[in-house]
Structure 1
Amino acid sequence: MTNPSSLVTREATVPCRVNLIGEWIDFNGGTVLPMALAPSATVQITANGTALDGIKSTNFAVSQNFAIDAPAEDHWSDYVRGALQYARSRNWIESGQDVSVESTIPVGAGLSSSAAIIVATLKAASSGLADVDGEALAFAAKEIENNFIGVPCGIMDQMAVALGEPGTVLALDTRDCSYALLDLPEAWSVVVIHSGVRRALSDGRYRVRRDQCLEAAATLGVDYLCEASLLSIDALDAPLLNRARHAVSEAARSRDAIAALRTGDRSKFGRLMNESHDSLREDMAVSTPEIDQLVCDAVSLGADGARITGAGFGGCIVALVEPERVETWWNALKLRHPSIERII
């Protein structure tokens, strides 16, 4: 049994992320462009020498205890407990842990608060282990989301929060997880806005669309749906046709967006963001009327581009705006949508 008095508190802080473009293709073999943001999750862990994990958060009033091998309960603490169970299985930690979570990431906003909390917990648990790097933490976090939480997500969110730094864009090829960190041009301002529409991925809609994408790939005989061509997908019936059309076109948009980012072509990047939102609304059917109107107004008031970000069904939009116009633009948008909140 671990002697709690001989151990110190270990802490790790991990940022959240916004996906600039490349939505719903991280498990379809596409390239994605997430960017790390300043809002973050900080996790502190201290061994308590018992068979219980005691978990508290500054965002919730109640501190709760859980058996160290208890299954997920559709509770916010599942992300911490899944990470602790994984860490114990790798002998990174022993016995139960007292855990404190402090997060400035809006929950249910599509900014990967769950991935940030999982990675932060794993990072704290593996502190001092030379053979556990950011990529290893990302793959572990994905395994936890898939197998403990029950969300069949891809690898984008975990890689983005484990490797990214605020102000840099991660160009990630999800087929082989090769990546490049690219600086955001000085003449670009990315604004992230919470729509006020709460979202959740555990209600089944994410899984349905993911399964449809995988079924479309299997029907077409390709390993990844993004490898298909627009011509070949015509053999599919709706809704598989719609899902495939989004994946193939979004993969192309992501490639074009990387080129625009490298050359500083803000106008082209913004246009690709608008096209991405149209596809997410029509072919993936993951937007909402409130967010569609917010995106429309964001562009009409002067943004180069705007789109829903994350898996959808609510949450945030991301907009690309000329730096000198950001405050005027934001004030005008806030007048039309008083309930929205600016994240960055």
Structure 2
Amino acid sequence: MNELLQRGSEHFASHFGGTPDGLWSAPGRVNLIGEHTDYNDGFAFPIAIDKRTTVAARARADRLLRVASSSFPGVVEVCLDDLSPDALTGWAAYPLGVAWAMSQAAGRAGGSAAAGSPMAGVDLALTSDVPAGAGLSSSAAVECAVALALDDLWGLGLDRQELARLGQLAENKVVGAPTGIMDQSASLLGEPDHGILLDCQSLQTQSVPLGFAHARAGLLVIDTRTSHSHADGGYASRRRSCEDGARSMGVGSLRALGPDDLPRAAALLDDQTFRRVRHIVTENQRVLDTVAALRTSGPAVIGTFLNESHVSMRDDFEISTPELDLAVSSAQEAGAVGARMTGGGFGGAAIALVRDDDAGRVAEEIAVSFARAGYTAPHIFPVTASEGARRER
């Protein structure tokens, strides 16, 4: 973390000169289970991970926002008065979209131009070790780090649930990705060795002990290096199918349905829409079953739920890829407790819950399987449940 903060300070100095007023960071996330349930008002169970995005920021004496990223060349500039969803494009839409959402929440497009006052301009420099395009929510890490920094510099005093909502608003309205609120919630609310049970209808959260350290187990991330974008059509079409299914079933969202409703859904819906609905309904139940098992028996017994989740995403929701399927099957065959793809799908990463003693062998077997199939070598690394967004300095 110290190295990442040092890089952040140096990156800020190289673009804007001098030192920042502070450094803030936010983690990426792994969704342990509960995929595509968030925008259906369902349940999700993510963890914040020990890969983070940092933002070095300094208030300005005018109304100019300037943002630089170590992942992209140049500096993007925009006046606070010109912020709008239509005016923001490319990578800068993520941090500047948050600034727009927060200006909306503050209820004013104006404000004092004095440095440090509400809605003054800010210089922002982003650095990150969250792999982009891997399904680990690098975008939410950016949004949450920037949101926390702007909340401090502008003195808005927003709570973390509201910051999560504003990050989601930025991604929906500015970036154009129809995502739910899970990623931002995980990045802002994470705790070490805990998962976050998120009720996406009420937005209530519960911190649930994972018990991984006690069980001598942990998570491997298998980044298949096949990138995806939530703004692409596949994600949006799945969301439309869910909305169509809920409407046909006469409910406001698929959260209102349980496993006992599936026979009626099968009779009423076309095959594809039914399978989309079945994934959401059964995935919600798997989230609750996983949390109950962790509370009563520990992580050794949740493998079945992880494995079933992947099958559901592969066959019913159809968001997996050959690379993700191979990562999961290879991990299972090598002795993982359970494995599944994670994130929005159409590429990205899988996760495997492994015993500490098995981690090296599981990673090696996955790499061999990818080489045998002629796929690009995956990036395999362990992650631990981490603290959420925070001010570092």
What is the aligned partner in structure 2 of residue 85 from structure 1? 100
Q: Does 2:344 correspond to 1:319?
A: no
Report the count of equivalent residues.
Answer: 339
What is the aligned partner in structure 2 of residue 274 from structure 1? 307
What is the aligned partner in structure 2 of residue 245 from structure 1? 278
The AA in structure 1 aligned to 2:195 is V
What is the aligned partner in structure 2 of residue 161 from structure 1? 187
- Partner Cα separation in structure 2 for residue 281 and residue 293 of structure 1: 12
- Partner Cα separation in structure 1 for residue 363 and residue 244 of structure 2: 41
Q: What's the CA shift for 1:51?
A: 4.7
What is the aligned partner in structure 2 of residue 232 from structure 1? 264
What is the aligned partner in structure 1 of residue 9 from structure 2? none
Contact 1:246 1:284 in 2 (8 A): yes
The AA in structure 2 aligned to 1:156 is M
Any idea what the Cα deviations from partners look like across 1:7-57, whole Å, max 9, x if unmatched?
A: 962431111110011111111122111011000111122233445422111
Q: Does 2:122 correspond to 1:97?
A: yes
- Percent identity over the alignment? 34
Pick from 281, 288, 292: which aligns with 2:321?
288
Task: Tell me the secondary structure at the aligned position of residue 277 of structure 2.
Answer: helix
What is the aligned partner in structure 2 of residue 119 from structure 1? 144
Q: Does 2:28 correspond to 1:16?
A: yes
- Partner Cα separation in structure 2 for residue 47 and residue 265 of structure 1: 46
Contact 1:134 1:162 in 2 (8 A): yes
What is the aligned partner in structure 2 of residue 306 from structure 1? 339
Normalising by structure 2, report the TM-score: 0.81
Q: Which moved more, 1:320-329 or 1:83-92?
A: 83-92
Pick from 203, 212, 234: which aligns with 1:177?
203
Contact 1:28 1:213 in 2 (8 A): yes
Task: Tell me the secondary structure at the aligned position of residue 42 of structure 1.
Answer: strand
Task: Tell me the secondary structure at the aligned position of residue 56 of structure 1.
Answer: strand
Q: Does 2:221 correspond to 1:192?
A: yes
- Partner Cα separation in structure 1 for residue 20 and residue 187 of structure 2: 25
- Partner Cα separation in structure 1 for residue 87 and residue 43 of structure 2: 31
- Partner Cα separation in structure 1 for residue 77 and residue 23 of structure 2: 20
Any idea what the Cα deviations from partners look like across 1:168-205, whole Å, max 9, x if unmatched?
A: 20011111112211122121311112111111111121
The AA in structure 2 aligned to 1:42 is T
Normalising by structure 1, report the TM-score: 0.92
The AA in structure 2 aligned to 1:206 is Y
Any idea what the Cα deviations from partners look like across 1:234-279, whole Å, max 9, x if unmatched?
A: 1111221111010111111111111111123434311111110011
What is the aligned partner in structure 1 of residue 48 from structure 2? 36
Shift in CA distance, 127/177, structure 1 to aligned 2, threshold 3 Å: same
- Partner Cα separation in structure 2 for residue 233 and residue 176 of structure 1: 25
Shift in CA distance, 266/8, structure 1 to aligned 2, threshold 3 Å: closer
CA-atom RMSD, angstroms?
2.1
Any idea what the Cα deviations from partners look like across 1:192-234, whole Å, max 9, x if unmatched?
A: 1211111111112111110110110011011221322222211
Pick from 42, 52, 67: which aligns with 1:55?
67
Any idea what the Cα deviations from partners look like across 1:122-169, whole Å, max 9, x if unmatched?
A: 100111747422111111111111112221211111111111134220
Unmatched runs of 5 consecutive residues or more in structure 1 = none
Pick from 158, 161, 173: which aligns with 1:135?
161
- Partner Cα separation in structure 1 for residue 157 and residue 63 of structure 2: 27
- Partner Cα separation in structure 2 for residue 25 and residue 64 of structure 1: 34
- Partner Cα separation in structure 1 for residue 308 and residue 221 of structure 2: 18
What is the aligned partner in structure 2 of residue 151 from structure 1? 177
What is the aligned partner in structure 2 of residue 202 from structure 1? 231
- Partner Cα separation in structure 1 for residue 192 and residue 137 of structure 2: 14
Contact 1:72 1:82 in 2 (8 A): no
Shift in CA distance, 77/192, structure 1 to aligned 2, threshold 3 Å: same
Contact 2:42 2:201 in 1 (8 A): yes
What is the aligned partner in structure 1 of residue 11 from structure 2? none
- Partner Cα separation in structure 1 for residue 279 and residue 76 of structure 2: 42
Unmatched runs of 5 consecutive residues or more in structure 2 = 1-15, 109-116, 372-376, 383-393
More helix by share: 2
Task: Tell me the secondary structure at the aligned position of residue 332 of structure 1.
Answer: helix
- Partner Cα separation in structure 2 for residue 112 and residue 170 of structure 1: 15
The AA in structure 1 aligned to 2:236 is R
- Partner Cα separation in structure 2 for residue 101 and residue 254 of structure 1: 33
Q: Which moved more, 1:8-17 or 1:288-297?
A: 8-17
Q: Does 2:379 correspond to 1:341?
A: yes
- Partner Cα separation in structure 1 for residue 20 and residue 56 of structure 2: 10
